[in-house]
């Protein structure tokens, strides 16, 4: 019985780790599959109410319009004119649906202008975010 110092006596090495590894693998796969990297606007938006809304796709480009009519994407203020160029760049890379998160107190004119910009940038599906309660 030549044992090195590092090798513990036989009885101590018997912990069976494989079920735990299985569990962790399942968790890992779950999180890999469900993770989407969405750039959130990082603004406090009071969404308008609607009763007939539907679930939107998780993986989308989110553009926010704040209560004081600022147009924001990914934490940066773009302005209505900047949306088109930025969106064209993003849609070129990946054809994603677009969600416009406009505050209930924002002007309709700004929302409409953003909508037109998004449409002309070539987005296939444009939705507006609402709240249902």
Contact predicate 84/117, CB 8 Å: yes
Interface mask (CB under 8 A) for other proteins, residues 66-95, using x and -? ------------------------------
In the complex, the smallest distance separating the C-beta of residue 23 from other proteins, rounded to whole angstroms, is: 10
In the complex, the smallest distance separating the C-beta of residue 79 from other proteins, rounded to whole angstroms, is: 16
Using CB under 8 A, which residues numbered 13 to 72 contact other proteins?
A: 13-14, 17-18, 20-21, 24-25, 27-28, 31-32, 34-38, 40, 48-56, 58, 60, 62, 65
* Residue 102 Cα distances to 55, 70, 76, 129, angstroms: 17, 10, 15, 7
Q: What is the 3-state secondary structure (H, E, C) of 4-33?
A: CCCCCCHHHHHCCCHHHHHHHHHHHHHHHH
Task: Pull the structure tokens for residue 92.
Answer: 């070129």
Residue 52 CB partners (closer than 8 Å, separation 6+): none
Closest CB to other proteins among residues 78, 103: 103
Q: Which residue ranges make up the site for other proteins (CB under 8 A)?
A: 10, 13-14, 17-18, 20-21, 24-25, 27-28, 31-32, 34-38, 40, 48-56, 58, 60, 62, 65, 99, 102-112, 115-116, 119, 125-132
């Amino acid at each position: 019985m030549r044992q090195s110092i590092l090798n513990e006596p036989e009885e101590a090495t018997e912990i069976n780790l494989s079920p735990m590894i299985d569990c962790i693998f399942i968790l890992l796969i779950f999180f890999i599959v469900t993770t989407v990297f969405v750039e959130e606007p990082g603004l406090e938006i009071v969404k308008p109410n609607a009763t007939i809304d539907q679930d939107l796709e998780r993986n989308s480009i989110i553009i926010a319009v704040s209560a004081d009519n600022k147009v924001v994407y990914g934490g940066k203020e773009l302005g209505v004119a900047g949306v088109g160029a930025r969106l064209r760049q993003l849609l070129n890379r990946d054809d994603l649906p677009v969600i416009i998160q406009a505050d209930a107190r924002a002007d309709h004119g700004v929302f409409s202008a953003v909508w037109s910009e998004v449409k002309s940038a070539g987005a296939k599906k444009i939705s507006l975010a609402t709240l249902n309660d």
